[in-house]
Amino acid sequence: MSFGDVTLAVLRLIAFRGANTVVANEVAAILDATEALMHELIGRNGLETGDLVSCIFTLTPDLDAEFPAVAARRMGLSHVPLMCAQEIDVPGAMPSVIRVLIHAYAGDRHDPVHVYLGETAALRQDLHGAQ
């Protein structure tokens, strides 16, 4: 959109997905895995904290030592609404996984880059080339 000499970017709400495996059900391990995942998602997508609308974290049932939102708060996301939930306990599903769904504003032509770290790359073989 353009008004004289001023060009305004057209933004749209986009969802970004990501996951990471956690080495142990320990506070430090959950926070480290979450922080690594968030840094990769934000970095690969060129997002700023002000672009984020909300983040929904899920953990597999074997992870309950800490909330992933604590890591996001430590990263400076104190004004972004965050929610944590437990994944459905599906038999045979990959254990020790943190997932996140980020809602953020980005340019209308932005193609979201989803990030799957560690063993979770196997969950999205279709995105393997982008990892």
Give the residue numbers annotated as catalytic, written as ranges.
17, 73, 84, 87, 99, 116, 124
Distance of CA 102 to the CA centre of its chain: 5
Which of 103, 104, 108 shows the shortest CA–CA distance to 9? 108
Residues 129 and 31 sit within 8 Å (Cβ to Cβ): no
Rounded CA separation 40/32 (Å): 12
Helix (H) or strand (E) holding 105: strand 97-107
